[in-house]
Structure 1
Amino acid sequence: MDSHHSVIKKHDPRPLAIQVHERISSDIIDGNFPPGSSLVQEQVAALYGVSRTPVRDALTQVAQEGLATLVPGQGYVVNDLTDKDVRDVYEVRYTLEALAARQACGKHSPAQLIRLRAMIDEFETLDPSDAQALFLMGSQFHAALIEPCPNDYLRSTLAAMWAHPIQRRITMTYRQGPHHQAKLADDHRRILEALKTNDPETIVEVLRYCHDPADERSGPGA
């Protein structure tokens, strides 16, 4: 545990357990708590300048989300991000997004189509080495893509998936650089053109490999 961590801000009005959970999740995602790190309640509490109670609650939630595992005699240990984790998240997200995209296709207003194009243009101006910014803009595009989907539960489920800590952690393993950025921009432009021609089959096919972990993941096993 190093100087990259900081104490919880006292002026934040949200419940302390929520703040601590957010901080622990972010520190795991950002690599400040690397895989195999032990998250001992007392040490984490001291690190963030809080009591043990919100830390205990936050660690329980972190474990439920799959970021850490409770190991007897060792406390919580940060999990590694496996290829199976990546494949499982992608499989569920693609299946749900394909369903939502089919339901949304043909229902976008001219203003929504203009907004989608503006998102792609902005995406191309981002720093190609900034994985977080690329992912944020990409996820916003995908949310706008399914915005006309009439199934509220389907849209909220997909929003929760994009915001899930495991999904956010996957973004930190994305290959970064101009090629990655150009590939995603091209995928998004193909989706937009298919929307304009009411072609759900092309949209679903592009979604099959857009943000595909087999293509985007870096490191061993990529």
Structure 2
Amino acid sequence: MVLQPIGRGGTPLADEAYRRISEAMLAGDLPPGSRLVMDALAERLEISRTPVRDALRRLEREGLVEPTGRKGYTVREIATTDLEHLYESRIAVEAFSARRVAELGEPAIHIVEQTIEDAVKSGAQTAAETYHQNRMIHRSVVEAAANPILTEMFDSIWDRAKALQIFEQFHKLAADAGELLTEHYELTDAMRVAPDHAYEVMHQHIIVGYKAHKDG
């Protein structure tokens, strides 16, 4: 993926610049250590410097880039603490939601199960496709918990460019996308056993992902 000029659509230019730059990081076109010069980015995206500056400042707040010089930034290496904080946040939101879905019972569990079935049938093969389907499954758990604030928190965690990069890197380690998606049936099985069991299974599921990425 390369940075393409931004058309004049309905999305605010700063948001679109943020999306383009973060996706370039995700694709590996802007790996850690890459220099990001504001004027050069504005020229490539064919927009003014102001939205590029705003996008870079947002990435800086998220800890994905760091300022180097008056008009430039550098893509940061992802630290172990970044990984820990993201996975801890996921546990707080997603494990709680899994327990809540179990408490709500079969109608809520069915929502999650249907999402898993759709993901498995999608035939995801690439890392990006697997990442997307995995996210949809986990989001369905939070949505089925019927607490919109939890859903907002989920999106806040997963939408961060840092999270996208971390989770995408993890899924590049997965040899079998189908197996990665199918294993989520263990979660709905646990939901039908007991709320606390659902919590523990989701907690362990996230921990396995964390360890695989950390050790990989």
What's the TM-score bracket when you normalise by the shorter of the two chains?
0.7 to 0.9
Task: Name the counterpart of 2:92.
Answer: 95
CA 1:213–1:59 in 2, change beyond 3 Å: closer, same or farther?
A: same
Asked if the contact 2:41/2:52 (under 8 Å) is kept, the reply is: yes
Retained in 2: the 8 A contact 1:28–1:67? no
SS in 1 for 2:73: strand
Q: Which runs of 5+ in 2 are unaligned?
A: none
CA distance, structure 1, for counterparts of residue 124 and residue 211 of structure 2: 16
Larger fraction in helix? 2
Alignment of 1:53-72 (within 5 A): 53-72=50-69
| Contact 1:100-1:155 at 8 Å conserved across structures | no
| Equivalent residue number for residue 6 of structure 1 | 4
Matched residue, 2:35 = 38
Q: Give 3-state SS (helix, strand or coil) of 1:39's partner.
A: strand
Overall identity of the aligned pairs, in %: 25
Segments of 5+ residues of structure 1 without an aligned counterpart are none
- Do residues 130 (structure 1) and 130 (structure 2) align? no
The alignment's C-alpha RMSD in Å is: 2.3
Deviation at residue 201 of structure 1 after TM alignment: 2.1
Please state how far the C-alpha of 1:183 moved relative to its aligned partner.
4.2
Letter of the aligned partner of 1:41 in structure 2? Answer: M
Deviation at 1:78, TM superposition (A): 0.4
AA paired with 1:168?
L
Aligned twin of 1:204 = 199
C-alpha spacing 1:213/1:74, structure 2 compared with 1 (3 Å): farther
TM-score by length of 2: 0.86
CA drift at 1:128: 5.5
22-31 or 79-88, which deviates more: 79-88
2:81 maps to 1:84: yes
Question: How far is the alpha carbon of 1:62 from its aligned partner?
Answer: 1.1
Number of aligned positions between the proteins = 213
**Equivalent position SS for 2:169:** coil
Change (3 A) 1:13 1:147: closer
